[in-house]
Structure 1
Amino acid sequence: MTPSRATGYTPFFIVYGSKAILPIDLDYGASRVRVYNKQGAEASLEDAMDQLDEAHDVVVLCSAKYQQALCRYHSRRVRGRAFNVEDLVLCLIQSNKNCHKLYPPWEGPYVIAEVLRPGTYKLKTIDDKVFINAWNIKQLRPFYP
């Protein structure tokens, strides 16, 4: 019953092409219910179908515009982050099995050994032991000595 902010239409209207009639409208005789006649409804059904196609086109355009605006809003507030080879980083501890709640969630420092692709790194310890697995940038944090 509430119009969507993205499209300007109610979900019911997008699917069925008309406003929803609630049971309370039937009980209290809303104006749409009182004015209804069967012959006029069949004729207006064809017009409503044409309007529904136009409404679907408008919905697609409004939805795309809304999503682009959200993407721009989000992108303005996202700070890009990347590491270079030989940067010092901390790694997120993967298992908290033997850790109590005050145990630090980060371990390290480690050195970036190789950049596999943007956002994916191979690490090595300070004594040049290379890890086998790759680490995602979300699991890394810069280390400041």
Structure 2
Amino acid sequence: MVLWSYRTIPQTSTKETPFSMTYGTEAMLPMEVAVNTLRVANKDEESNAQDLRINLDILEEKREKSGMRQAAYTHATERYYNQRVKEKAFKVGEYILRKNEASRDQPQGNLIPTWEGPYIVTEANRNGAYVLETMEGRQIPRTWNSRNLKKYFF
């Protein structure tokens, strides 16, 4: 039933069902065929075959429109996300804190501190990756993403 409902419910991004995108027409429930519903009762073999041919002819156009809707939906979602993301940039020599769960230095639990440090930024790489060292001058292994760092104010 879940698979059937997925195939027969219009998707948010395309406004089309996967079934109609594949076959060019909307799916019919088996119950609609067994019991003469209005959708089935007024159709004879010739008009049904003609409707299917018309639907197949316009299927490519329907797919193109759906592709454009999908691209617009993706662009809108990306724009929504990017408006709320705040870029964090640190300069070499700044003091920062590192998120404890990212380093997994201490066992996870509710009563452990969220941040550890302070550390000093020694190198700023592309895409928000930073090389850190302790206050004593020992370099921390691997680079750290800016999502797991925050400025230390003392």
Query: TM-score, with normalisation over the residues of structure 1?
Result: 0.87
Contact 1:115 1:121 in 2 (8 A): yes
Cross-structure match for 1:144: 153
Residue 118 of structure 1 aligns to a residue in which SS? helix
Question: Deviations along 1:86-128, whole A, 9 cap, x unmatched?
Answer: 1111112322654653010321000001112231111111222
Residue 58 of structure 1 aligns to a residue in which SS? helix
Contact 1:82 1:118 in 2 (8 A): no
- For 2:111 and 2:141, the matched residues in 1 are separated by 29
Percent identity for Structure 1 against Structure 2: 30
Cross-structure match for 1:35: 42
Bigger share in strand: 1
Cross-structure match for 1:50: 57
Superposition CA RMSD, Å: 2.0
The alignment of Structure 1 onto Structure 2 pairs a total of residues equal to 145
Cross-structure match for 1:134: 143
What does residue range 1-145 of structure 1 map to in structure 2 within 5 Å? 1-93=8-100, 94-95=103-104, 98=107, 100-145=109-154
Question: How many Å apart are 1:73 and its aligned residue?
Answer: 1.3
- For 1:35 and 1:144, the matched residues in 2 are separated by 75
Runs of 4+ in structure 1 deviating by more than 6 angstroms, as ranges, are none
Bigger share in helix: 2
Query: Kindly tell me: are residues 44 and 117 of structure 1, through their superposed partners in 2, closer, same or farther at Cα, counting changes over 3 Å?
Result: same
In structure 2, list runs of 5 or more residues that go unmatched. Answer: 1-7
Contact 1:113 1:121 in 2 (8 A): yes
